[in-house]
Structures are given as C-alpha cells and as structure tokens.
Structure 1
C-alpha cells in the first residue's frame, strides 16, 4: 500500500462534513452513488487518494440540500421528533444554522452495486494494493476506525445516530474502539406497524450511540410511524443518560 492511500483512508475521506463540535453526529456506511455519477466520481477519487489525507474542517451542514434526498428527508423527520417537534415539521430544518450536525461514513469508497468486479474495473486493486473491496474494508476496521474513535473522544458529541444494524460491530468499533464498549442494549420499537424494528444502543463515556435500521427499504424505518417511534425512543434514552451523569 502506498503511503498516500493509508493517509487518505485514515482521514476525513468519504464523509460529508458539518460541525465536528455539534451535539449530534450522524453516521452512514458509505456515500450513496447514482449510476450516472460513477465515472466522474471514480476519476476524481483516484486523484484525491493520491493527494493524501482529507483535513477535518468545520462547515455548516446543508440541511436544505439534504432534504432533496430520501435519506436526508427521513433523517429530518427523525431529527425533529428527537427535538420534540412534530414529524411533519421536517421542512423547518432548512431554518437551522447548520451547526447542529456532523455527518460521517464508515467507509471511504462507494459503489452503486454490490458487483465485486467493480473494484478491479475501476483500478482500485492496483491503487490500494488490495485485491477486493472486502479486504480493503477489513483493513479500514483496524486502521481507519481508530482515527474516528479518537475524533469522538476529542469532540465528545452527546448523541451519535448510526444507520444500518447489520453494521453494529463496525459502528461500535468506529466510535468506541476496543475499550469503551461496556454493555450493548436492544429494544423493539413500538409503532403502529405490522413489522417491528430493533434498535441498539450503548453509552460511550457519556455519548449515547444508537444504531438504527436503514431509514428506508423493506426492513428499514420506512414509515412516519416507525420514524416517530425511533425518535421518541432516542429522546427518552438521551434524557436518561443525561439524568444519570
């Protein structure tokens, strides 16, 4: 592996930005990528990787722009419920300053398909020295993740919301490292829905870490009722942790 690749991967690569001093962090798995954006994305990404680390900078989270995507729209509803607001007031997040949120991703390289051949097709086997995306992501687990665990310790957000329960272990390591995860809890969301959803949470040195299902999809938080239930549960857990501090 070239030194630039390691420095790039163990930096703020693949993340969206916002205010690292914000009380709430939001973490996904990797960037969403539309098919038509693929070629330009991979070309720019290769150049970016060879340029080295991506610096951590404080910006204002683009609430209005995020509402143009399904993920951002669902999160705006969830956010408003956590804040004690009505779920249908989600458009009001456009009035926020942008200092309220920091948005990250577990992994820095995205694909619009699970086709394993895309890694070689776009030359990432040669660029990174790993023959597959799976091997690269496993390397990130032991090298990229400690960077963000230290970042969490430095900035100490009050709440971290993660999406994708199949990545529970990844999120715990990403923010907690090997020493901070004492206990892990689970709960079923109580909502007027025929299908129940499970969420997981823990306290990382005073930070509430919650891992939710995806915010859409067949098994995700795909209704206002489920988003409402998740937001109310997070608000309750947040109040309990801060009461017990």
Structure 2
C-alpha cells in the first residue's frame, strides 16, 4: 500500500471514502444483472491523501482492457462470470453456446459501460493483497483499519453498506447474484433484506447439486450462491452454464445489448 508519510486517516474520512463506488469493478449500474462479491479482486492498494470518494462507477472500457491486456487471462473469477452471462444469453435466445463464446464475451463485453452486468463488492479493500502482504503490515499506522475486524465493522455499521442499499434502490437491477454463501449475513445486511423471506433452489445439472438461496423484494431478486472457487463452489462449465440458464428466467430481450461479431470493431 502506498501512502503519504504521516497520513493517518480518521474514521470519518474512511467512512466517507468507502461510501462510494471504490473497490468495485463496475460496468453498467443500470444493467439488469449485478454480481456482488464480498471483496474485490486482489490488487495493490493505494490510499493517498486526500481520499476522494468514487462518485461514478468505473467500467471495463477499451482503455481499461488495453491497460490490463497482459493480466486478464489470469482473472479466473471474472472469466467464470463471463461464462454465466454467455450461457444466459444463449439460453434466452435459444442458440447453441459455442465453446469460445465466453472468451469473446470476456474479451469484449464483460463489465462494459453499456453492457448487461455490473460488478460490485460489499467491502472496498481486497481481502487478499498482492504478494500475500499481511493486512497488519499493509495498513500499519492506520488505527481505523487494524485489526481487520475494525475495518469490517466500519463498513457494516457505517456508510458503506448503506451506500450499497441506496444504489440498489436507485438502479433497481432485476437480479443480484451474491457470490459466496458464507457471506450470506453480510449480503442480507448490506441490501437490507433482514425481513425478507427466502426460498431454496437446487441447481443440479450433471454435477453435484448446489443450493441457491433466493430472495425477492422491491422488484429485485437476490440469488445467494456458492463462490466461484473451491471444491464446493460453482467452478465447472456445467454448473456455470446452468447458473446462466437460471438467471435468464428473469431477463427480457432488451436486457441483452447487441454483441459485436468477429468482423466488427468491438
């Protein structure tokens, strides 16, 4: 983490900074499908004074893709989300899902400024830092961030979770896919779903069955599902395709922007 010498951020400064789009991959907040992780992709963290909240969502535009073109092939969780979206599109339009359709979607359309999905995170700082730097080392000298539990409580009880609920009510996505059932309590708190009853749906293609927790409220459906990694996660192509087919049930033709063809400039 880079920071100016002797810059110690107050709880109020951090709370205001976190109550923004900071730590979110972004995309199109007006999209019908949101994907919500607990924490953002591992990365270097730069917290340099003054902390300026991110008032606008970022996106994977052409400049972003060019800048990160040498690293994107290693971003497996984002590739799995691209597979889900490609499968949803193919299922909705009743077209065959080509073996490389997900790759085309990932390379050209995932998290696009006017695309079909938006990616956010409950917490703004990555849970795992690059080079496996310990949290206490990365944020040494920041008493509001160490220990890590203090930071988590700031997000839950401060403005971060309130901001997430506020932008959901503003944009009203049709589906929010919450990745990682072990974070279910945080998803429920962040989206103010404490009084909403849910139901289980069993996702069982050819693989072992996976349980999805489904909640509906105020025009949005939340699907709390296993993470996109680990032995118990949604990791196989069969499960990812089935997940895409499932969320397609909430979508309409206008929810899918036109895709560029191989001959088009994407």
Same fold (TM over 0.5): yes
Q: Once the 2 structures are TM-superposed, how far is the Cα of residue 61 of structure 1 from its aligned partner?
A: 5.7
Counterpart of 1:146 (choices 152, 162, 170) is 162
Unaligned segments of structure 1, at least 5 residues: 240-245
| Equivalences for residues 55-94 of structure 1 within 5 A | 55-57=55-57, 59-60=59-60, 68-83=74-89, 84=91, 86=97, 88=99, 89-93=101-105, 94=107
Residue 179 of structure 2 contacts residue 225 of structure 2 at CA under 8 Å; is this kept in 1? yes
Q: Once the 2 structures are TM-superposed, how far is the Cα of residue 173 of structure 1 from its aligned partner?
A: 2.1
Residue 209 in 1 paired to residue 222 in 2? yes
| Equivalences for residues 1-245 of structure 1 within 5 A | 1-33=10-42, 41-42=44-45, 44=46, 46-47=47-48, 50-57=50-57, 59-60=59-60, 68-83=74-89, 84=91, 86=97, 88=99, 89-93=101-105, 94-96=107-109, 98=112, 99-100=114-115, 101-112=117-128, 118-124=134-140, 126-143=141-158, 144-175=160-191, 177=192, 181-193=195-207, 195-236=208-249, 238=250
Residue 201 of structure 1 contacts residue 210 of structure 1 at CA under 8 Å; is this kept in 2? yes
- Structure-2 separation of matches of 1:208 and 1:118: 36
RMSD: 2.8
Q: How many pairs align?
A: 224
TM-score by length of 2: 0.74
- Structure-2 separation of matches of 1:24 and 1:207: 10
- Structure-2 separation of matches of 1:111 and 1:168: 17
Question: Which structure shows the bigger proportion of residues in helix conformation?
Answer: 1
Deviation string 1:139-195 (CA, Å, 9 cap, x unpaired) is: 2112210111011101111111121111112112222x156x4211112211212x3
Q: Once the 2 structures are TM-superposed, how far is the Cα of residue 7 of structure 1 from its aligned partner?
A: 0.9
| Partner residue in 2 for 1:242 | none
